[in-house]
Structure 1
Amino acid sequence: MMKDEIWNYIIKRFSNAETDASRQALDEWIAASPDHKQLYDEAVTLWMLAEKLPREAAEPVFENNVRQFRPKRLYIRFAAACAGLLVVFAALLLKQKHEQKNIVWVSHSASRGKMLSVTLPDSTTVMLNSGSTITYSNNFDYDNTRLIKLTGEAFFKVTHRKKQPFVVQTRMLKTVVLGTSFNVRAYINEPEIGVAVATGKVGVVADVRQQSNQPVFLLPNMRLAYNVNSGKYHTDSSFPGMAGEWQKGILTFEQTPVLDALQTISRRFNVQFDTAAYKHTACRLTAKFNNQNLHSILSTLKAAMNVQIRQTNNIIYIKGGTAYNQP
């Protein structure tokens, strides 16, 4: 079956113009292989995001501000479907294009204790936080999506391309934009993935290989936190400038588990913490360090947590402790 025929069937389905014959043909194509099903799901997801992001991205209504990604019926006008043709067609053929083209994937990593600035082929700028890695194609012209794979944390200033969405893929989420600035935090050893928006509009969707994939749309100064274990997320408002404030050396902890906070400090200053003798590892920390050096931060932690701290080379030993939640 020709690709144009498949595309026409998808257009009819999205625009509520489907006939019995086109429905049967598309269903048969989807059922023919798992790859077809995945390509169709990707087309649906990117269609939803690409169509809604340029327009109003109304704040979603949440039940108690916590919910799970669930599928949702699409109502898309035929005119909107035609406008998004290139986007969806690219999504449908994404895998085939990568297989057919001799694409070179480029990786950049920021080592512990360092930050790294990277400029992508479309002039998008990326600031990588310590211990982070991005991977991307050396030429975005091969596809109608600009796919970036991220492990760790990065702040993106995306060059606007109306017909080529910018997609940041982490281990569980895809963040899709056309042109904006935002922060994504997705360290492998952390149970939470966070997306915070500085400017523009951002769509976040669970990986389409998961059972539920309803997109969530974020506006400036909004944050989304996704728990990789439960599959649940919550959103809240952040203060202006919060997204990516780590670039200025600012470390903010809001009821953060102590061990997670120490992990962040560890990456920032390229040190290791030994907490074998620390008694209250389940406690949480609320603190903000404005571009302070390691010695100053350790002095604050020593007083707040009532611990003994001893540093030998790049290993910091913490002993004792009081069950304080915050300084």
Structure 2
Amino acid sequence: MNSINKDYFMKYLKNELTDDETRQLVAWLRENKENQEFLFSLKDSYLYLNYEKDKKEADTKHEWKLFSERVGLSKKTVSSGKHFSLKYIWTSAAVILLCIVGGWTAGMIYAGLDVPRGLVTLETEIGQQAKTILPDGTAVLLNACSKLTYSLEGWNDTRDVRLEGEAIFDVVHKKDQPFYVHTRNYNVRVLGTNFNVMAYGNDPEGVVTLKHGKVEIGVAGSNKNTFLQPGESFVYDNQTGTYQVEQRSLKHVYAWEHKEIIFEGHTLEEKKEELSRHFGYKFEIAPELQKMSYKATLRDESLNEFLAALDSITPQMSYCIDVNRKIVKVKKLNYGED
């Protein structure tokens, strides 16, 4: 896609183009069908994300005809075009507004589009999840503190996304077009399947778990790829760079999809990063309590409710919440304290 002033896109959507800007945009649209498809799909998404009720696919031929007539172009210049669908971004909490000139925040969930590169970014914060449908129809559920990035340009040739954090992918099968998920330490290649990728930079391990289908995982610096069968997990040690295949409970791996945290003999130390993403507080566990395990399922409890329940079943435990520093200190109770 050749260069054009990205401000023109928002002005076009708001019907604020000057005559000179209109001429420049027309010249850019005349260059190729890709430019027409790109602009008119943006218009369709812009209308949708501003609460328009008519959620149709962008008809490039029709939109180009309307635009041509509006600016007085000859009918001979109308491109035959093709239908182009830019799937809509949506979240479980609120509609994301798509920002054509860089992105803005809606409900603390960020979605942006870098027009010159056609780069789409979806990012969640603490305690949030977001859902999106990619251009090929693949569904993605993004966990808290995660970031998904992909490019619209060339999507019909290669389906590539980059993930920081955790997400569940339900990939549309395309025989001759693999789907790739790129993380910091490894890449996942699939044709059509459902799997979970956990790739938080501050966690001790990264994990790819396959629910159904088949995936292939390649690690940087290794010439041997790993293939997973349903129910298997690829576990990458972020400290040593080693990895192995394990059997892990799908119920536990996919618990976050239902906003649950499951303790099945787990310790607070093992779950502290997950708890931090869920509550927005850093957890500091005293050494004396780091090996104490629990069996429980956390669902809709608040931080205070969770800690109170924990306190009631752990007599030797006390805790302190530092609201200003966003820290929860879990320590061994000194019986001389009040």
TM-score range normalised by the length of the shorter chain: 0.5 to 0.7
Q: Give the RMSD, CA atoms, in angstroms.
A: 2.8
Q: 1:305 to 1:139 in 2, by over 3 A?
A: farther
Residue in structure 2 matched with residue 115 of structure 1 by the alignment:
129
1:186 aligns with 2:199: yes
Residue in structure 2 matched with residue 129 of structure 1 by the alignment:
143
- For residue 104 of structure 1, the aligned residue among 103, 110, 118 is 118
Shift of 1:296: 4.2
Q: 1:161 to 1:118 in 2, by over 3 A?
A: same
1:142-201 residue CA offsets vs partner (Å, 9 max, x unmatched): 533x11111111111111111111111111111110111100001111121101111111
Distance 1:154 1:163 in 2: 24
Residue in structure 1 matched with residue 246 of structure 2 by the alignment:
236
- For residue 288 of structure 2, the aligned residue among 280, 287, 291 is 280
Residue in structure 1 matched with residue 75 of structure 2 by the alignment:
none
- 1:1-327 alignment to 2 at 5 Å? 103-141=117-155, 143-144=157-158, 146-207=159-220, 210=221, 212-253=222-263, 258-275=268-285, 278-280=286-288, 283=291, 285=293, 287-294=295-302, 295-302=304-311, 303-304=313-314, 306-313=316-323, 315-320=327-332
Distance 1:204 1:284 in 2: 34
Identity value in percent: 30
Shift of 1:297: 3.0
CA contact (8 A) 2:206 2:238 kept: yes
Helix, strand or coil: the match of 1:310?
A: strand
Q: 1:307 to 1:149 in 2, by over 3 A?
A: same
Helix, strand or coil: the match of 1:225?
A: strand
1:64-118 residue CA offsets vs partner (Å, 9 max, x unmatched): xxxxxxxxxxxxxxxxxxxxxxxxxxxxxxxxxxxxxx64221111110111111
CA contact (8 A) 2:275 2:283 kept: no
Distance 1:269 1:308 in 2: 18
Helix, strand or coil: the match of 1:309?
A: strand
Shift of 1:132: 0.5
Distance 1:290 1:273 in 2: 16
Which structure exhibits the higher relative contact order, with contacts defined as CA atoms closer than 8 Å and separated by 6 or more residues?
A: 1
TM-score calculated relative to the size of structure 1: 0.59
Distance 2:238 2:292 in 1: 19
Helix, strand or coil: the match of 1:121?
A: coil
Helix, strand or coil: the match of 1:141?
A: coil
In structure 1, what residue type is equivalent to 2:308?
Answer: S
Distance 2:154 2:264 in 1: 38
CA contact (8 A) 1:256 1:285 kept: yes
Which consecutive unaligned segments of at least 5 residues does structure 1 have?
Answer: 1-101, 323-327
Q: 1:284 to 1:121 in 2, by over 3 A?
A: farther
Helix, strand or coil: the match of 2:328?
A: strand
1:227-251 residue CA offsets vs partner (Å, 9 max, x unmatched): 1222222222234544422111221
Shift of 1:259: 3.6
In structure 2, what residue type is equivalent to 1:306?
Answer: Q
Helix, strand or coil: the match of 1:280?
A: helix
1:253-300 residue CA offsets vs partner (Å, 9 max, x unmatched): 56656445122111112233355xx23375364544152413443234
Helix, strand or coil: the match of 2:288?
A: coil
Q: 1:228 to 1:274 in 2, by over 3 A?
A: closer
TM-score calculated relative to the size of structure 2: 0.57
Deviates further, 134-143 or 305-314 = 305-314
Distance 2:195 2:315 in 1: 33
Q: 1:321 to 1:188 in 2, by over 3 A?
A: farther
Aligned length: 216
Residue in structure 2 matched with residue 26 of structure 1 by the alignment:
none
In structure 2, what residue type is equivalent to 1:137?
Answer: S
Distance 2:194 2:219 in 1: 20
Report the structure number with the largest CA radius of gyration. 2
